[in-house]
Amino acid sequence: MNQKKRIVVIGATSAIAEHCCRLWMQRGPVELILVARNVALAERIAADLRARSGQAEVSVETMDFLSTPAIADSVARWTSQMPVDIALIAHGVLSPQQPCQDDIEKTRESVEVNGVSPILFAEAFAGAMERAGGGTIGMIGSVAGDRGRRINYVYGASKALMDRYAQGMQHRFAGTAIKVVLIKPGPTDTPMTADQKARGRRLASVESVAQGTVDAIDRGTAVAYLPRKWQLIMFVVRALPDFIFNRLNI
């Protein structure tokens, strides 16, 4: 008999996170704790997931994603009786650059939601998993964190913060049963990128990115670019000398 996996999904209304949950349900008995700011949407997602599998136990919670006490208390409660096998930290906002330049309050919001908040959740889960002796933390970052670019450097900076944090956490847990997986999607066909799709930009399917995310978490891959072509693309972008890079509108 398969042991039921316990998975906490932070930012469960994310399209990528929702499709990850569908994939996990197909693999056997699972307990999903969906944590979201938009409870009504999360409840609809939970109802859909329950309808897809009789083996899934799905619950929905909401909280202040920027409150350190709320994060610490919630993670302690989720892990007090039984360990969490996987924590997927998937929340964020795709912050346009110009509004951040025009209003530093929007800059603060972008950095806190996209960088600081995921790190607070990850650190809380790390402590719980260390005490339990195992577990996997999956964090959804972005290729935007690989190099600062004029078109999205505030958003990119928050994802770069997550990148360095995950790298340090991987060093901390090297050789242990705790895995930290950083997912770096390229532009993906989700509600957050609807304007890009309307402009004709080619986007990866959310299903393929979710499959890659679940596979990377299964393997404990340190960094997963999705689709994989973005690993080469960003290698080239990072390698460009400044005198060339600064002429490009990318």
Q: What is the CATH number of the domain that holds 103?
A: 3.40.50.720
**52 domain-assigned:** yes
* Closest among 21, 54, 14, 57 to 36, alpha carbons compared: 14
* Closest among 28, 25, 70, 66 to 46, alpha carbons compared: 25
Check residue 2 and give its pLDDT: 54
Counted domains in the chain: 1
On the question of pLDDT at 198 being above 70, the answer is no
**58 domain-assigned:** yes
**101 domain-assigned:** yes
**133 domain-assigned:** yes
Interval 234-247: pLDDT, tens: 999 999 999 999 99
The Cα 106–Cα 98 span in angstroms is: 10
Check residue 194 and give its pLDDT: 72
* pLDDT average, residue stretch 183-189: 94
* pLDDT average, residue stretch 36-46: 96
Strands 30-35, 135-140: pairing kind: unpaired
Interval 207-223: pLDDT, tens: 999 999 999 999 999 99
On the question of pLDDT at 169 being above 60, the answer is yes
Domain that holds residue 139: 5-245
pTM (two decimals): 0.94
The Cα 6–Cα 78 span in angstroms is: 10
Check residue 1 and give its pLDDT: 44
**250 domain-assigned:** no
